[in-house]
Each structure stands twice: as C-alpha cells, then as structure tokens.
Amino acid sequence: MLKKGSIAPDFELKATPDQNIKLKDFLGKNVILAFYPADWSPVCSDQMALYNEMLKYFTKHNAQIFGVSVDSSWCHLAFQQDRKLHFPLLADFEPKGEISKAYGVYDEEAGESKRALFVIDKEGKIAWSYLSPKGINPGADGILDALEELK
C-alpha cells in the first residue's frame, strides 16, 4: 500500500458510462480516494452514505472525494442513484483493478479492491493512507484529521 509522501499514481477512470475523471485534473485541490470492495454490500453502503453526509466538511477543506471499486460504471450509476450519493464513484473495471493495484490495495484472492483510504494533497502527493479491515467501516475521522494537517 502506498504510504505518506509517495506520488499518487495518475489515472483516468469512468465516473459514468460516458464521463471519465482524471486525477491530474484535480491538482491544486485535495483529493480523497475511498477504495471499497463492492457496491451494494452492507459495509460499503454505510461507508459511502457516511461520506455523502460529510461532503460539506470535505468541501471546507478544498477536498474532492471519489469512491473507487472494481464494479462497472453502470453498477456504480444504479448504486449512486439508489443511495442518493452526491460524489463520483469511479470504475476500476477494465483492466480490472489496475488502479487498485497501482495504489497497492487490490485483493487478488477476492478480485476486488481492499477497503483503503488515501488523502492526496494539492501537489499530488499522498498525505495520509489507511487500510481498514474488510468488514469495518473506517469512518471519516482519519480523513478529517489528515485534511486539517494540510491547512
């Protein structure tokens, strides 16, 4: 897993079936990457709902959050609409897990992303990272602490 001080690997992933997001387009802004195993799972649903509630706090820190899993953009779109999420979910779908692997958080055995958090600073360096147990919602405290340190 990439650690504090590492350069965040750039990527371009689908946010919707017809919209791509590039990490490099967010230089000058703090970025939160929330890797998670799968849409629709109970813990992932709770985790993404929490981050949806935290959006105003992330915005105060000039931060954009992205959820990232190996699910397809169509699956993300249905999940996003059902859960009324107001931040992008990125599809690390094809080649499967390529970005999760680049960040060192791909679970080869399960074929999905591990539950991991990264805060990337305005210059594109990892300011904080955390690997959570698969069945535990990591919450938002570590993210907020890392964003506070970037002030």
Domain boundaries, the chain: 12-149
Q: What is the pLDDT of residue 114?
A: 98
| Amino acid sitting at position 132 | S
pLDDT of 151 reads 86
Mean pLDDT, 10 residues at a time, the chain of 151 residues? 98 96 98 98 97 98 98 97 98 97 97 98 98 96 97 86
Tell me what pLDDT residue 115 has: 98
CATH architecture type of domain 12-149: 3-Layer(aba) Sandwich (3.40)
CA-nearest of 20, 105, 136, 38 to 12 is: 20
Q: What's the pTM?
A: 0.97
Point out the residues that are catalytic: 44
So what's the pLDDT on residue 67?
98
Q: Which pair of structure tokens corresponds to residue 97?
A: 């897990």
Cβ atoms within 10 Å of 139's Cβ, excluding its own: 16
